[in-house]
Structure formats: structure tokens, C-alpha cells
Amino acid sequence: MTKSRSVDEERWADLADLVLMISREIQYRGYADESAVPLTQSEGIVMRYLLKDGPAAPSRIAAATGLQRTNLSTTLRGLDGKGLIERQADPDDGRGVAVSPTEHGRGNYAVVRQEWATAVSEAVAGDDTHLDAAVALLSGIAEGLGRTRPGTPSSHPPA
């Protein structure tokens, strides 16, 4: 391995470590807005998917998010109990079910995103000098990791 490759790998590892630390810090602080409904990591993954891609069958949600079907069932029950999703007969196939976010689910996502924005902006005193570049880089990483997700889940998947 060349020295430059080692330095690059170290920088990428630092970035991954920072992303994990930032995620934990955001989750740790909770929400100031009492109307915000806290979500588990799996619930957040499912809500992001539904809000981006619209109604979907549970099998499609599981495939797109990388969640195992048994974990997805538990996650959907939790979201349903919080009033954040609804299940309807699939318009394409009356025998199936389509899951979609409720208005409450959409509103909750808007509230928590505002809180996240405030937290991360305040953490750097509003300095947005490299914000567009950071968002572009992290978006590319998220898309690439999703595209190259292994077919079988890790023995240590998120809860």
C-alpha cells in the first residue's frame, strides 16, 4: 500500500467516524419541540423512505431499506401506533397493502428536520462556508452505500 493511499484511507475512516459521532449526538439531544415524536433508527429509515418514494408495499420497503421483514413488521407496528403511517389496499393489487405516511408523519418529519437544522447550524455557529460541498459529498456517499448494499444483512444490523 502506498503512503498516499494510507493517508486517503485514514481520511475516509475519519469521515465515517465523524458521521457516526454526529448521528449519535443528534439522536442524543432529543427534541425541544414537545410535538416531535421520537423515532427508533429503523422507524426513521422507514419514514425517510416513505416520504421520499411514496406509498409502498412492505416487501418493497424492506428491500429498499435493507431491513429484515420481521424487523420491518415491528417497525411498521411502532409507526402505526404513533399515528405516523397508514396502511391501505394496494391500488395496483387489491390483495396487497401499501404503506404511506400520514399528515402527522409528514408534519413530524418537518419538525424534527427543523430541530436537526438548528442543532447542526448552532454547532458551527452558522458557518455555512462548506455546507453545499458537505451535503453533496454526503449525499453521494449515502446513495453509493445504498446502491452497493450487500444482499444479505450484516450480523450487526441497526435495530
**What is the DSSP track for 41-61?**
HHHHHHHHHHHHH-SB-HHHH
Could you tell me the sign of the dihedral formed by the alpha carbons of 65, 66, 70, 75, in that order?
negative
pLDDT, tens digit (0-9, with 9 covering 90-100), for 24-53: 999 888 899 999 999 999 999 999 999 999
User: For 31-147, CATH number?
Assistant: 1.10.10.10
Q: Partners of 97 in the beta sheet?
A: 89
Radius of gyration over every alpha carbon of the chain, rounded to an integer in angstroms:
18
pLDDT value at residue 145: 92
Q: Which residues of 10-45 are buried (b: 16+ CB within 10 A; e: fewer)?
A: eeeeeeeeeeeeeeeeeeeeebeeeebbebeebbbb
pTM (2 d.p.):
0.82
Q: Where are the domains of the chain?
A: 31-147
pLDDT, tens digit (0-9, with 9 covering 90-100), for 56-74: 999 999 999 999 989 999 9
